[in-house]
């Protein structure tokens, strides 16, 4: 099982180190000691807690869609010229950037601070691991 240091677990969950320690003390996260006697948490338990604690805004759109990767957020930047636009949406801790036509930006009524849904349907999703880790 992968083991994750407390400071890294806190960063992954966007909480403080103290919060992770409290979760360990309260039995929310199992912990152990690594080879250097540092407290670590089980990677699978951490992933399950992250999924359980993920709070996403309700998707205001209606109707069925085949795309499962939908991120509701706020438009934080629009860079637009006569033909093309770059739209940045902050979806919780994630920044999603889309390139689209300027016409699409106008038709959608996108403006800074407006709610938007980033829909990602990709045939290729690249997955990386930190260097030096299997």
How does DSSP assign 82-115, residue by residue? Answer: SSEEEEEEEETTEEEEEEEEHHHHHHHT--TT-E
Pick from 63, 66, 56, 62: which is nearest to 121 by CA? 66
| pLDDT > 70 fraction of the chain, expressed in percent and rounded | 87
Quick one: pLDDT at residue 134? 54
Q: What percentage of the chain reaches a pLDDT higher than 90? A: 42
Q: What is the CATH number of domain 69-124?
A: 2.40.50.100
What pLDDT is attached to residue 44?
A: 83
Beta strand pairing call for 69-80 and 84-91 = antiparallel
Instruction: Please give the full DSSP string across 115-132, using - where no structure is assigned.
Output: EEEEEE--S-------TT
According to the model, what pLDDT value does residue 95 have?
A: 87
Domain ranges of the chain: 3-53, 69-124
> For 78-121, what is each residue's pLDDT tens digit?
999 999 999 999 887 788 999 999 999 999 999 988 888 888 87
| CATH assignment of 3-53, among 1.10.1660.10, 3.20.20.70, 1.10.3470.10, 1.10.3720.10 | 1.10.1660.10
């Amino acid at each position: 099982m992968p083991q994750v240091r407390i400071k890294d677990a806190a960063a992954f969950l966007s909480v403080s180190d103290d919060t992770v320690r409290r979760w360990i003390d309260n039995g929310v996260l199992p912990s152990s000691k690594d080879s250097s006697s540092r407290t670590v948490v089980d990677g699978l338990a951490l992933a399950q807690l992250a999924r359980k604690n993920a709070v996403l805004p309700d998707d205001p759109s209606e109707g069925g869609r085949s795309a499962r990767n939908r991120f509701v957020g706020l438009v934080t930047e629009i860079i637009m010229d006569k033909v093309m636009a770059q739209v940045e949406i902050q979806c919780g801790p994630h920044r999603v950037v889309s390139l689209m036509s300027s016409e699409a930006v106008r038709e959608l009524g996108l403006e800074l601070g407006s709610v938007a849904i980033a829909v990602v349907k990709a045939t290729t999703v690249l997955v990386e691991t930190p260097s030096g880790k299997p």
